Structure 1
Amino acid sequence: MTVLPDDGLSLAAEFPDATHEQWQRLVEGVLRKSGKEASGTAAEDALSTPLEDGLRARPLYTADDSAPEPGLPGFAPFVRGGRAEGNTLGGWDVRQRHTTADNAAVLGDLENGVTSLWLAVGEQGIPVASLGRVLDGVYLDLAPVVLDAGSEVEPAAGELLRLYEERGIAREAARGNLGADPLGFAARTGAEAFDFAPVAALARRCAEEYPGLRALTVDALPYHEAGGSAAQELGASLATGVAYLRELTEAGLGVEQAAGQLEFRYAATADQFLTIAKLRAARRLWARVAEVCGAPGGQVQHAVTSPVMMSRRDPWVNMLRTTVATLAAGVGGAESVTVLPFDHALGLPDAFARRIARNTSTILVEESHLSRVIDPAGGSWYVERLTDELAHAGWEFFQHIEQQGGQAAVLASGSLREDLATTWAARSAKLAKRREPITGVSEFPNLAERLPERAPTPAEPSGGLPRVRRDEAYEALRARSDAHLAATGSRPRIFLAALGPAAAHTARLTFASNLFQAGGIEPVTEGEFADSGATEACLCSSDALYEEQAADVAGELRSAGAGHVFLAGRPGQYPGVDAYVFAGCDAVAVLSATLDRMGVS
């Protein structure tokens, strides 16, 4: 340890250390001013934020917030990374997804920063017979190929291996993943049974002949896209991985060989700390499974920016969401990252969208230097504690699945679907009440926007777990408004009646305007109600002015033809007012009922 000479600039040397109890007393004072009485830990709890899976983000973390020793990067329990060097050797693998036989797009991506390919092959993507044409001009010894072939794993894998042989690629130079994931396919399609023998044969061939090629993917995206929480995603992935280990070892592979054939795929969301903790916890949990099985514990991770968080309205905001998610994936230690293009929810991405997607990783690695530090979040009391808590929650859900017979059993029985649906219902309530805002959709919508037009994507596998999106309830409302605009030439309207000076009404006028536009209802703020073309109205002002004027103005609006009168504010007793809109109200229910009354089908 280097001892620096005393330079006379001691930092805070004359001040005593602050204590946790002193901080709590300050919190008590702040809460008291807001009308809340709480002391000690109760005061601290009042400032905490509830998360899914029963977790809470507390307002203050200190060295007293204990967590198990995370170990060193590249060593068990692999919390700090699956590789000792992390992503410092050139950053993470930039993996672009392609669903159509577009060779020019594939080559363009590889020439401009993409380092591996993720190809949807089969009925829902690129025809198996077209695989060679899609990969024409691709240096297969330099660019790993990952397949997603669903039920056509055997022919797709056979075609890729044939291409390696035909093009003279040394077997030790072939890298990637054949993408077999029978349980993931069952989750997507509802298939109840599968023959694992061909998958085991592929795994054996990869283990014996292609050391850089894996045969199986443990894809947790079906559970994330069905509305699952981070812990449910972790638990389902562990149960799937364990099921594959059992099948492979029963087929004659050694446990080390079997573990080496698995790659895990997780969703990365714009909740950056939860994503970081999830990836760290996933490695820790799999290390525990591997320890029990007697296998090496490293987990190879592929992170994909969440399709659930992508919005169809104001899709350019998706660039911000995917940037935060990609940052989290990199900090969390994923070896490969796929950034979905910002127009993913609208259809096939164009060249600009693919460029932005691949450049997201490039900027974070090359310009932000994110990959220069191994485990950048390591040592953060918050991240370490969240990692530990999420690991326990994920392990509990994994045990819940195993107690019911394993992953195949919970998929067949429907119990997993029910668990995921319960989680999504709770989250949907938060979305409906705008407790979880969606910028450009539930907050700050733009009714005048012109959405980019995209060709439709190939049909996704269906019949199994549902695919949900955060924006789905609001999208349904906006679609009703769009249909009304197409049929009548105008959107449904509501008149916002501002009472008093701007200082009194601006805040609630803005609130009401945003709320109604989230349902595709155009606010009118100028002129008189009779000239607005609206059939309903909303009063916007301060509580003091409501006491003085709300009843009279509501009566005047009624006389002018308003069939329904809202008031922007907490519910009260104002004659002539039918309903109230306020922060925390069920916006989806309010907007749906309003469109119903307006005759918008």
Structure 2
Amino acid sequence: MTVPPEEPRSLPEFPPITRERWRELALGVLRKSGVETGSPEEALASTTYDGVTIAPLYDASDLPGDPGLPGAAPFVRGSRPRGGSWDVRQRHEAPDPEAVLTDLENGVTSLWLPLEPEDLPRVLERVHLELISVALDAGGRTREAAGTLFALAAARGVTALTGTLGADALGDPATAAELARRCAGEFPGLRAVVVDATPYHDAGGADAEELGCSLAVGVAALRVLTGAGLTTAEAFGQLEFRYAATADQFLTIAKLRAARRLWARVAEVCGVGEAPGVGQRQHAVTSSAMMTARDPWVNMLRTTLACFAAGTGGADAVTVQPFDTRLGLPDAFARRIARNTHALLVEEAGVARVIDPAGGSWYVERLTEELAAKAWEWFQEIERAGGMTAAPAAGLVAGRIAATWERRSAAIARRRDPITGVSEFPNLDERPLTRRPRPGGEGEGSLRAGDVRSGAGQDRDVRSGAGGVHYAQDFEALRDLADAQERRPSVFLATIGPAAAHTARASFAANLFQAGGIATVSSGASGGASGGAAVDPAGISAAFAAAGTPVACLCSSDRFYGEHAEAVAAALRKAGARKIWLAGKGEFEGVDANLYAGCDALDVLRTTFDDLGVTR
């Protein structure tokens, strides 16, 4: 029996949604939350360190214009006309041939080798150079390392090398020019020069600052190569750009898209905008600055987000730094997780199946455009100061990056930029991991101690230490200090009233103190009267005396503070409290200071160490 199909039922039409209607609804919610404003856009917007405004809502009117086609200028949608996986580039800091082969047998397609020239023959002995890209990174010995690679290729009859030789056109222009001429004439798949923008990121700089500096270094490199006899198009074909990829996926996606757009503009101004091969070749490296030594397992999540963003943003090669990179030489497990991050995103998530998957997003397209505009302004400012080889520009860049790091540091200290596992949700019981030290005690991350990537001593000016700064460094220093004590420093949490009244602020206070390695002892856990509605200052003070610490923090609701804060503070003071904090805002007799959302957590922690008699 055949059942005739039912007639399709029409669904009621949804009413059109307008920006004005959204504004009305958003204003209503804001007013109920106590926020009085006439503009929900201003109330809900945020600003990046570059001054780019992130709006709460985007629509089709935010599209900046036609971004072009993949593989065609201005290359916003990618330098390649077809999709496919990015180059999985694993970094090897130690001359370990077995580790190299293990990586190549398990998904790695490219080797990044910051090794000495004499180590290369042993490391590459069983590597098929005709199949694998090699990125050299030998610093001041680039000429020797390149010569070794060429000799290995010649001995094996390999005529088609791919990758990069890692020359620094500003630090060693003669070597860069010599290698660029050879690559242009003999190895069209090999690029001689790396424009490394990661030092500016690693010094605490913002995304547009990183982009603008990369343009300035890239233009300076073009001048070196064309001055050495290469054509402009040949010079463009000899550069590879290296950028940091962070856990802020949208900014990373927009940064890589903007970088290609900006470099295409440079090519256009140089008269080679339509020449083949002038699109920017990008190597994205997961950020060193965002990596933590504490709770390093969380780094796996950070690098997964960063790798996703790098692939989505169209990077040609991507390096995922192992989660234990802050601790020393990564072990086999960490390298495996790093390469499997690529495999998961490419094979399981299918990120590489679509060209420019973020393209067409109103938010991403607008963010790309605004980031590019900020970066171009910064690039022009550097050029007006004489370019990257000029001393005034060096001072300009150093000052700008330092100012950004200062603002970023303040946001980290106040936990507006939270660091999971460090400034938020620390685990005082974590077991520390140990790793073998790097060769020569070199710095961690994507940079080696003493590396100079932009010439004229620029990196020495902008970088703080051999490996740059780390966002978690100040909190981690306090954790180290706390761990070094014979007895872990502690603070007493005087929980007032029932659990419903004090739990939120007690949890907040415990989280803040533990971010500095300071343990917390609660009056509720110590048999105080906080389990019920009755408040017993004497019971709380007795629990405080048993805790063996001179610092206490009151934790409760505003109502209970009004009724009991002063009495509890007086009882604690009588019991010997040297310092009394209050979780929340409000002034009460006997309370010395407050901690609250947005307070300077690092200042609270340092003050507490002083109050506890811990020498910093």
| TM-score by shorter chain over 0.5 | yes
Tell me the residue number matched to 1:272: 249
Q: CA deviation at 1:16?
A: 3.2
Q: Distance in 2 between matches of 1:587 and 1:37?
A: 28
The one-letter code of the counterpart of 1:150 is G
1:180 counterpart = 2:157: no
Tell me the residue number matched to 2:93: 99
Q: Distance in 1 between matches of 2:392 and 2:521?
A: 50
Answer yes or no: is the 8 Å Cα contact 1:264–1:299 preserved in 2.
Answer: yes
Structure 2: gaps (5+ residues): 1-5, 443-447, 451-459, 527-542
Answer yes or no: is the 8 Å Cα contact 2:307–2:318 preserved in 1.
Answer: yes
Q: CA deviation at 1:537?
A: 0.4
Partner of residue 304 from structure 1, selected from 274, 278, 285: 285
Tell me the residue number matched to 1:191: none
1:597 counterpart = 2:615: no
Match of 1:346, SS state, is coil
The one-letter code of the counterpart of 1:96 is Q
Q: CA deviation at 1:182?
A: 4.4
Match of 1:53, SS state, is coil
Match of 1:233, SS state, is helix
Tell me the residue number matched to 1:414: 395
Partner of residue 156 from structure 1, selected from 145, 150, 171: 145
Q: Mapping of 1:433-448 within 5 angstroms?
A: 433-448=414-429
- Cα 1:315–1:195 shift into 2, 3 Å: closer
Q: Distance in 2 between matches of 1:249 and 1:280?
A: 26
The one-letter code of the counterpart of 2:205 is G
Q: Distance in 1 between matches of 2:82 and 2:479?
A: 48
Runs of 4+ off more than 6 Å: none
User: 1:344-400, CA deviations, whole angstroms, 9 ceiling, x for partnerless residues?
Assistant: 111110000000000000000001111111110000000000000000001011001
Q: CA deviation at 1:413?
A: 3.9
Match of 1:32, SS state, is helix
- Cα RMSD between the aligned structures? 1.4
Q: CA deviation at 1:35?
A: 2.1
Q: Distance in 1 between matches of 2:582 and 2:405?
A: 31
Answer yes or no: is the 8 Å Cα contact 2:167–2:175 preserved in 1.
Answer: no
Q: CA deviation at 1:50?
A: 1.7
Q: CA deviation at 1:33?
A: 1.2
Tell me the residue number matched to 1:189: none
Q: CA deviation at 1:414?
A: 2.4
1:504 counterpart = 2:501: yes
Q: Distance in 1 between matches of 2:176 and 2:168?
A: 9
Q: Distance in 1 between matches of 2:514 and 2:120?
A: 46
* Fraction of identical pairs, as percent: 60
Match of 1:152, SS state, is helix
Tell me the residue number matched to 2:594: 580
Q: Distance in 2 between matches of 1:410 and 1:339?
A: 34
1:481 counterpart = 2:482: yes
Match of 2:389, SS state, is helix
Answer yes or no: is the 8 Å Cα contact 1:228–1:421 preserved in 2.
Answer: yes
Partner of residue 223 from structure 1, selected from 189, 193, 200: 200
Tell me the residue number matched to 1:457: 438
Answer yes or no: is the 8 Å Cα contact 1:181–1:216 preserved in 2.
Answer: yes
1:246 counterpart = 2:223: yes
Answer yes or no: is the 8 Å Cα contact 2:211–2:255 preserved in 1.
Answer: yes
Q: CA deviation at 1:10?
A: 4.7
The one-letter code of the counterpart of 2:110 is S
Tell me the residue number matched to 1:232: 209
Answer yes or no: is the 8 Å Cα contact 1:97–1:117 preserved in 2.
Answer: yes
Answer yes or no: is the 8 Å Cα contact 2:181–2:230 preserved in 1.
Answer: yes
Tell me the residue number matched to 2:259: 282
Q: Distance in 1 between matches of 2:514 and 2:297?
A: 18
Answer yes or no: is the 8 Å Cα contact 2:250–2:309 preserved in 1.
Answer: yes
Q: CA deviation at 1:461?
A: 2.2
The one-letter code of the counterpart of 1:340 is Q
The one-letter code of the counterpart of 1:53 is D
Answer yes or no: is the 8 Å Cα contact 1:68–1:388 preserved in 2.
Answer: no
Answer yes or no: is the 8 Å Cα contact 1:401–1:410 preserved in 2.
Answer: no
- Cα 1:327–1:496 shift into 2, 3 Å: same
Q: CA deviation at 1:476?
A: 1.3
Answer yes or no: is the 8 Å Cα contact 2:492–2:520 preserved in 1.
Answer: yes
Tell me the residue number matched to 2:50: 53
User: 1:24-80, CA deviations, whole angstroms, 9 ceiling, x for partnerless residues?
Assistant: 0111111111222222xx222101122121112111100111312100111111001
- Cα 1:107–1:348 shift into 2, 3 Å: same
Q: Distance in 2 between matches of 1:411 and 1:147?
A: 31
How many residue pairs are counted as aligned between the two chains?
Answer: 568
Tell me the residue number matched to 2:135: 146
